[in-house]
Amino acid sequence: MMLFNEMVDNDQLVIADKTFTSRLFTGTGKFNDQQTMVDALRASQSELVTMALKRVDMQHKDDDILAPLIKNGLNLLPNTSGARNAKEAVFAAQLAREALQTNWVKLEIHPDPKYLLPDPIETLKAAETLANDGFVVLPYVHADPVLCKHLESAGCAAVMPLGAPIGSNKGLKTLEFLEIIIEQANLPVIVDAGIGSPSHAALAMEMGADAVLVNTAMAVAGNPVAMSEAFAKAVQAGRQAYLSGLAGQVNHAVASSPLTAFLEAG
């Protein structure tokens, strides 16, 4: 039997052609400045970071966010944020492939700006097209177990069901459906969106999620760097708990101390 430490040490996440040691994926949005972002990403130990794409503003020069990410050896996961339907998402993915020279894409199609909830029909359509075109597709979806199976059949490399609306920090509001998705999945499940604190991340990992993606909760924390480190620890703890096999729950008490009646001895 493999020693437990050995099991934890060899516990790597494989998605398509890449192997990850860290199960914490991160976003690059909403950080106050570039240095804080770089320091926070380093503290998180994340190996995969998301990026967005936009039309170049001809009047202003944008910060070069890419160079420090590449310098730190991070894998890039461009998203299709802003796409309102499958056609726009496919175009965005193709642009991102050129811009970042990667065939990985976080497919997200959310036409409604208030809740940013993903459109399942357009997402499935785009996923089929992109997977056929050789993309490594990681779709952002509602925690819908049936949809996740369809996306698996469509050739996606992982699924990214949400815990709560993007940036809401509300935690795993979809918990019971995430459990079904995890139970049924034959591909990695990455819980994305809504994770607002390290305990939410730990819970997702204890449930058997393969990874979590966190952005807002780190970027807008009082101390983003320290918070990112806290997330790294929480994800590691949650994963180790999952691998250790959690003790089951019962409704009645089960004594942890021996119930010897020594007070009544005589």
Partner 1 sequence: MNVFVNEQTLEIAPDCNIEELLEALDKPLQGTAVAVNQNILSRSLWSDYSLQEGDHISLFQAIAGG
By CB under 8 A, residue 215 contacts partner 1: yes
Distance in Å, CB of 116 to partner 1, minimum: 10
By CB under 8 A, residue 195 contacts partner 1: no
Q: In this chain, which of 10, 101, 251, 260 binds partner 1, going by CB under 8 A?
A: 101
Q: Of the ranges 4-12, 56-64, 240-248, 258-266, which one interacts with partner 1 (CB under 8 A)?
A: 56-64
* Closer residue to partner 1 in complex, CB, 54/252: 54
- Alpha-carbon span 107 to 127, nearest angstrom: 7
* Beta bridge partner(s), residue 141: 161
By CB under 8 A, residue 246 contacts partner 1: no
Question: 120 and 141 in contact (C-beta within 8 Å)?
Answer: yes
Find the catalytic residue in 18, 71, 87, 106. Answer: 106
Q: Is 194 exposed, middle or buried (0-12, 13-18, 19+ CB in 10 A)?
A: buried
Distance in Å, CB of 263 to partner 1, minimum: 59
DSSP string, 137-195: EEEEE-S-HHHHHHHHHTT-S-BEEBSSSTT-----TTHHHHHHHHHH-SS-BEEES--
Catalytic-residue membership of 114: no
- Alpha-carbon span 139 to 118, nearest angstrom: 9
* Closer residue to partner 1 in complex, CB, 90/242: 90
Catalogue the active-site residues. 106
Binding residues for partner 1 (CB under 8 A): 27-31, 37, 50-56, 58, 61-62, 64-67, 76, 78-79, 81, 91, 94-96, 98-101, 166-167, 213, 215-216
